């Protein structure tokens, strides 16, 4: 039995030494990267639907003065994975599909990827925009569409000056969500682990997070605000005092604090607040399992 153990340990040591030598010779653990750059230009004024799905890359979607759509992949990656990226830009009638896939393979050592897919589109109204990144940030600026859907498994989402005519969906499994100066009939945002913040929003907001803070900063009330947080604070700030608002807060572990004037309270306790200003045209409804609620 002892001989078997000795032989096994010897083989293990030999294997480790062999891997180390191979790594040293082949630069398995090198941090050096190579440039990756591809461009594609689409001349199709009929495109109204855009779908982007990428792996290990950021997404930037911005308007341009050109009548063509320009798609650029730019960044640096480890040389050993350079040939394993598949970048495809396809148009089909009114739809544009952009895909960046990383072929799965077994690898020992360090792999580095710092990539961005940039899509510059004509400044016009679109039917549908869907952006998905498995590991990367998403940035969208100054666009208008009927429907917008942004999803990041591991990365932040940043939206600024975007208008949706129907619905706006934002999802992040692990990362923050920030929406600024945007308009939609309804915003739906969710994050498993990350903060969610809105500023100067026109439209109804429904938001939930398992672990993270939720915040709304608005000049005035411009829609309903429905929030659920398992673990995190919820803060709502209005610069102009609301004249018609229904307040509904309930918390399991945490305090509620409303600092507004002219509120007629039905219930007012640390963990339960129900009140109304005016006829209650808009609603602020908050449910928190562990965290505080502030309405200013």
What does the pLDDT profile of the chain (296 residues) look like in tens digits?
Answer: 444 444 545 544 454 444 444 444 444 445 688 998 999 999 999 999 999 999 889 999 999 999 999 999 999 988 876 677 889 999 999 999 999 987 644 444 445 578 999 999 999 999 999 999 998 999 999 999 999 999 999 999 999 999 999 999 999 999 999 999 999 999 999 999 999 999 999 999 999 999 999 999 999 999 999 999 999 999 999 999 999 999 999 999 989 999 999 999 999 999 999 999 999 999 999 999 999 999 99
The phi, psi pair for 2, rounded to 5°, reads -65, -40
- Quick one: pLDDT at residue 112? 58
Q: Which residues of 119-128 are buried (b: 16+ CB within 10 A; e: fewer)?
A: bbbeeeebeb
| Paired sense of beta strands 85-92 and 113-122, if any | unpaired
With 0-12 / 13-18 / 19 or more C-beta atoms within 10 angstroms meaning exposed / middle / buried, residue 77 is: buried
Cα atoms in the 13 Å half-sphere on the side-chain side of 211: 5
DSSP annotation of 109 reads S
* 63 beta partners: 121
Question: Using DSSP, how many helices (H) and how many strands (E) does the chain show?
Answer: 1, 23
**What is the rounded CA–CA span in Å between residue 224 and residue 204?**
5
- Quick one: pLDDT at residue 20? 42
With H, G, I as helix, E, B as strand and everything else as coil, classify residue 291. coil
- Quick one: pLDDT at residue 79? 82
**What is the rounded CA–CA span in Å between residue 195 and residue 156?**
10
DSSP annotation of 84 reads G
Residue 212 corresponds to which tokens in the numbers above?
Answer: 């993270």
Residue 193 corresponds to which tokens in the numbers above?
Answer: 């682990």
- Global pTM reads 0.85
| Paired sense of beta strands 264-268 and 272-277, if any | antiparallel
Max intra-chain CA distance, the chain: 86
**What is the rounded CA–CA span in Å between residue 242 and residue 233?**
21
* 133 beta partners: 54, 152
Residue 272 corresponds to which tokens in the numbers above?
Answer: 């339960």
- Quick one: pLDDT at residue 77? 84
| DSSP structure string for 214-242 | EEEEESS--S-EEEEEEES-EEEEESSPP
With H, G, I as helix, E, B as strand and everything else as coil, classify residue 281. coil
Write down the residue that tokens 């869907």 correspond to. 130
- Any residues with CB less than 8 A from the CB of 36 and at least 6 apart, and which? 73, 74, 75, 76, 77, 82, 85, 115
- Quick one: pLDDT at residue 14? 53
Radius of gyration in angstroms for the set of CA atoms belonging to the chain, rounded to a whole number: 25
How many residues in the chain? 296
Residue 199 corresponds to which tokens in the numbers above?
Answer: 């500023």
**What is the rounded CA–CA span in Å between residue 212 and residue 232?**
5
């Amino acid at each position: 039995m002892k001989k078997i153990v000795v032989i096994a340990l010897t083989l293990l040591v030999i294997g480790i030494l062999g891997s180390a030598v191979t790594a040293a010779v082949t630069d398995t653990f090198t941090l050096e990267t190579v440039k990756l750059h591809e461009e594609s230009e689409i001349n199709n004024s009929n495109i109204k639907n855009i779908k982007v799905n990428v792996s290990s890359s950021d997404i930037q979607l911005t308007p341009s003065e050109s009548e063509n759509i320009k798609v650029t992949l730019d960044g640096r990656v480890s040389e050993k994975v350079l040939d394993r990226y598949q970048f495809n830009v396809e148009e089909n009638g009114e739809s544009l599909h952009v895909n960046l896939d990383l072929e799965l393979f077994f690898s020992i050592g360090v792999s580095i990827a710092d990539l961005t897919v940039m899509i510059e589109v004509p400044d016009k109204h679109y039917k549908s925009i869907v952006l998905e990144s498995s590991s990367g940030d998403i940035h969208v600026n100054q666009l208008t569409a009927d429907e917008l859907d942004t999803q990041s498994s591991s990365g932040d989402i940043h939206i600024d000056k975007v208008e949706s005519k129907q619905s706006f969906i934002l999802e992040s499994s692990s990362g923050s969500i920030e929406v600024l100066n945007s308009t939609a009939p309804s915003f739906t945002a969710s994050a498993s682990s990350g903060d969610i913040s809105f500023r100067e929003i026109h439209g109804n907001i429904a938001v939930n997070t398992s672990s993270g803070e939720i915040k709304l900063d608005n000049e005035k009330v411009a829609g309903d605000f429905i929030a659920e947080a398992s673990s995190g604070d919820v803060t709502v700030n209005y610069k102009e005092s609301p004249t018609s608002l229904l307040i509904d807060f309930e918390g399991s572990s945490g305090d509620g604090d409303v600092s507004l004037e002219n509120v007629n309270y039905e219930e007012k306790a640390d963990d339960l607040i129900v009140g109304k200003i005016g006829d209650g045209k808009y609603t602020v409804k908050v449910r928190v399992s562990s965290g505080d609620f502030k309405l200013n």
